[in-house]
Each structure stands twice: as structure tokens, then as C-alpha cells.
Amino acid sequence: MYNEFYDRYEIIRELSCSRHSKVYLVRHRILDVYRVAKIFSGNQYEADRLLKEAHLIKNLKHPHIPVIYDIEQNIGEDNSSICIIEEYIDGKSLRQYVNDETGAGGNLSVHEICRIGVELCCILEYLHGFNGNGILHMDIKPDNIMLDINGKVKLIDFDNAVAGNAGVSVDSGSPLYAAPEQYSGEYAVTQSDVYSVGMVILFMVSHGHIKTDKGHNLAGIPRRYSRLYHVIEKSIHHQWGLRYSSVTLLKNELQGIMRRSGGTIEKHSYIVQVAGDKAGIGTTHTVMCMAHFFKKNGISCVVVDRSGNRRVLPPFLKNGLMEDGSYIYKGIRIIPDYNGAISVSAQKTDIILVDSGHSMRELENDKDIMDIAVENYAYIEVCVTGKHICEENKRLRKLKEDRVYMLNLVSATQFYELTDMLKGKKCYREPCIYDWCEDNPIFDETMNDFLQDNLSELWEDCRPDRLKECIGRLYEKISSIRYFKGVKKKKSR
């Protein structure tokens, strides 16, 4: 096996070395491509742990996570080593990048720090939701974050990764960046990775010089980074229950700072994935109602069909075929599911509405959408559901904290009962609408709230018109009150 490895790979140089491992840059002799070879030597327990972790992450498919090509056992002169062959990332570590950018009096902009933080959170969103159970990285630090030659963030070194549902205690991690619970052998939690992201942000704002005193004091950090103080303090709180409960919430906070600092994620762009929790709940109808609302309010959007239902769209897609294969129907652009034949990323729009039918399909398997979600768009999940959601405790336990819930086919009374049971969740009532392309004032009010709560930058763009509309309604109410008061006075005389 020792000779077979060297028959296939030429060692270019050593990248790093530790007590039990060596990492090499190697070249595949036949394919003529560079890869990374991690060779581990140690006791059987360590070997079993490494193999378990390698198998844990071998099925990850994400554009910003290195691919594992091969796992070889019994290599080396004593046939006791393990070798993991991974994708090689041509770039530099975040530590090196920060040192290069801040040397000789330079600095990182707030926008750049947030961009790196957002891309890192997007990768962790994928990991934490992988296969339903999730994977926790547990060793996020500047040396394990790479920026490729295009500046895109990549996350490497999954040596300490654990399954999210494993309920295992952890006692590993890197000094400064590991959460307090990692030192005390407590169970691994999502917020442990949140802590590490917060420390990485602190590393960037401090230009690579983190204070090691208790509490990681922010004193001495330049005031130009003051907008990030709250994010850092909340992320690295000593008690994990008081940190951001998910990387999505942390990501949303960073995106808001990005926009307020003068940078955008691509002119207020969002991917809104809409899915029902059962067949017949009205997902496609909801998507088209939302698209109609956005259109009439001057917000550009495109509907992407990922429902898998071949019977829904064809009836009204008989006309309006565009050159690129998409359709225009009553002013709404619709992209059928052509297995990626039409590029979603080529659509210049404020909102991409994804119709996922009656299952919240994992968008990480949709490379076209996933790439732009990571790079340019904020991401929002909308679940269309009804009164049945509270009939089973199992359903309630599965509800995601950062998901938006559109309650369909419920009365006003049922809506208030459901929102009381769904405390802490963003819930909106969808009124009875027979024709999605007709105006409905109740749905307009619902969508105004949805817009303000979840797509705040687009709300700001529409705000002057909203303000004018509100003033008009207020004037009508005042006029009505004056009229009825006048009538009442006449009667009393």
C-alpha cells in the first residue's frame, strides 16, 4: 500500500506537521491535479476516530467545502497510518489574508468583515442542517478558513467534527476559538460553532491581535467597527443559551450591518423558498399570490418551479414563452424545472421565489441556486401550513426557529389560537383568495407585515408609497369620525 500511494501521487511539499499527522500538497500523477494528503499515525483509538470523522463528512457536497476523494488505510513503512485525500484549495488562510491586508497600516472594511462572516455562516447553515441531524465543525478558527483565488470563503479541517444529534461531550478545539463548553466536556451544541464564528469576527476587527484577558475585552478595537460590537458580544457569551440560537440569526445580523455600512448583497436580493408541509395546502397558489403582490409594488421577482408537480404550471404557460425558455404569465416570469437548463443566477431580480411543492427540498442539491445563495442573496424559508400543525406534538418539535410560517385555510380565531401556540415564530395569516392575480386588501396587509419583518431593505424602498397610503387611510378614518360625531350632535339637539 505504501508503494501504491507513491505510485499515484507525487509529494510537492509539506504544508503542516503535528505530533500525529503530516499534511502534504501532492500531485496526482495521471490526472495532473493538485490535492491535499493528510497522513495520520497514532494509536488504534485515534485511527478509529479519524475514520469515523472521515465517513461522517465524505458525503458533504457544497461548493465551499473541500471534497474528500479517497481514504486509504495501512499505509506507511509500518502499514499503520491512514491517509485522507482531499481537494486542494488554491488561496490563503484567513490568518494570512488578515495579516496581508492589515500590514503597513492597512485595515479591513466593515463590509469585508461582514462578507466573510456571512459566507462562513452560509457554509455552517448547510452543515448544521445536513441530512436532518446536522454536523458541528467544532474547530472554526482563522487557520481553518481559506479564501480562494477569487476571495470566496472555504471551510477546511473537519478533524473535530461531530454529528449534531450524537449527544457527545467534547473536550477538543483550538485555544481562543473554542467555546467554554468545549473545555469543560459538555455536550456539543450548535451555539459552540456560533461562538467560534464570533471569535473569528473579533480576530478580524482586532487585525489578528485578540486580547486574552477575561471576557475578550473589546477595548482598543477601532471605533469604525462599533457596529459589530453587539454581534461579537452576543456570539461569544459565556453561556451558550444566551448566544445566537443559530448561525442563520447571526448571518441575518451581519447582512443588516453590510447594507447599513454602504455595501449590499446584490441590491437587496433575496431567495424566498416556499414549501407546504403537506400536499394540497396551497403552496403554488401562495407563491403566485406573493409574486403578484411584489409585482404590483414595483419589486422585481422571478418564480422558480421546484415543486415536481407537472400538472400545476402547464395550464397557464401556454403563452408567453421567452427566448431563454422561461415564461411570462400576467407579468410574472416563471422558470420551469428544466434540471438547471435555465440559469437562475442570470436573472437580475430583487426576489427569487422558489416553489418547492409540499416538501422543503434541500436547496444545497440545487447547485445553480445554492451558488448565488452563498454569494449574493439572503435566504428565507417560508412554510405554508394550517391548523393541523398544532394537532401533533411531533410536528411542533420539528418547527425551525428561523423559518417563517404562512397559515393558510384558517379562520381569524384559529389564527390567533395557533400564533399563541407558536410563540416565538413569525406567523402570517393567508386569507381566502380564489384568484391569485386579483388584489386582496387583507393579503396586502399580510404581505406588508411580511415585507417589513423579513425583507426590510425592500420595505425601505417601498416606504414612501406605504407612508402615503397610511396617511390617506388615517385621513379617511379621521373624516369618518368627524362625520359620525357631527351626526350624533345633530341628533342630540
CATH 3.40.1390.30 applies to domain 2-87: no
Task: Cell 488504534: give the residue.
Answer: 44
Nearest alpha carbon to residue 122 among 225, 246, 208, 207: 246
Percentage of the chain lying above the pLDDT 90 cut: 22
Query: DSSP assignment, residue 344?
Result: S
pLDDT at 467: 46
> Is 23 in a helix, a strand, or coil?
strand
Nearest alpha carbon to residue 305 among 280, 331, 334: 334
At CB < 8 A and 24+ separation, what contacts does 105-108 make? 107/207, 107/222, 107/224, 108/204, 108/205, 108/207
Under the banding of pLDDT at 50, 70 and 90, the label for residue 326 is confident
Q: Give the residue-averaged pLDDT of 22-42.
A: 88
How many whole angstroms separate alpha carbon 385 and alpha carbon 307? 16
Nearest alpha carbon to residue 49 among 182, 181, 170, 191: 170
pLDDT at 265: 47
pLDDT mean across residues, the chain: 78
Residue 354 backbone phi and psi in degrees, to 5:
-100, 115
CB 363 within 8 A of CB 369: yes
How many whole angstroms separate alpha carbon 181 and alpha carbon 171? 8
Q: What is the pLDDT of residues 103-112, one digit of tens each?
A: 877 788 999 9
CB 133 within 8 A of CB 165: yes
CB 220 within 8 A of CB 211: yes
Classify the C-alpha dihedral 343-344-345-346 as positive or negative. Answer: positive
How many whole angstroms separate alpha carbon 56 and alpha carbon 52? 6
Count of Cβ atoms closer than 10 Å to residue 311 Cβ: 7
The x, y and z cell numbers of residue 363, run together, are 436547496
Q: Which strands form 91-93's sheet, in the order they lie side by side?
A: 91-93, 145-148, 153-155
pLDDT at 316: 53
Amino acid at 117: G
State the Cα torsion 324-327-332-333 to the nearest 10°: -20
Under 8 Å CB-to-CB from 269, ≥6 apart: which residues?
349, 350, 351, 352, 376, 377, 378
pLDDT at 464: 45
Burial 144-154 (b: 16+ CB within 10 A, else e): bbbbeeeebbb
| Least confident segment among 46-50, 53-57, 269-273 | 46-50
Strands 81-87 and 68-75: what pairing? antiparallel
CB 289 within 8 A of CB 353: no
Under 8 Å CB-to-CB from 355, ≥6 apart: which residues?
274, 283, 284, 287, 303, 304, 305, 306, 307
CB 306 within 8 A of CB 386: no
Q: What is the pLDDT of residues 254-288, one digit of tens each?
A: 988 887 766 544 444 788 989 888 888 889 999 99
Q: What is the pLDDT of residues 437-491, one digit of tens each?
A: 888 888 988 898 888 778 766 765 554 445 445 545 555 555 555 555 554 555 5
- Kindly list the domain boundaries of the chain, sorted by start residue: 2-87, 91-260, 270-454, 463-493
- Supply angle C-alpha 165, 167, 171, rounded to 5: 125
| Least confident segment among 170-174, 187-191, 430-434 | 170-174
Residue 194 backbone phi and psi in degrees, to 5:
-60, -45
Query: DSSP assignment, residue 166?
Result: S
- Supply angle C-alpha 429, 431, 433, rounded to 5: 145
Task: Cell 403578484: give the residue.
Answer: 292
CB 277 within 8 A of CB 395: yes
pLDDT at 187: 82
CB 350 within 8 A of CB 268: yes
91-260: CATH topology is: Transferase(Phosphotransferase); domain 1 (1.10.510)
Which position has the higher pLDDT, 77 or 350?
350
Which position has the higher pLDDT, 360 or 250?
250
CATH number corresponding to 270-454: 3.40.50.300
Under 8 Å CB-to-CB from 450, ≥6 apart: which residues?
404, 428
Q: pTM higher than 0.75 for the full model? A: no
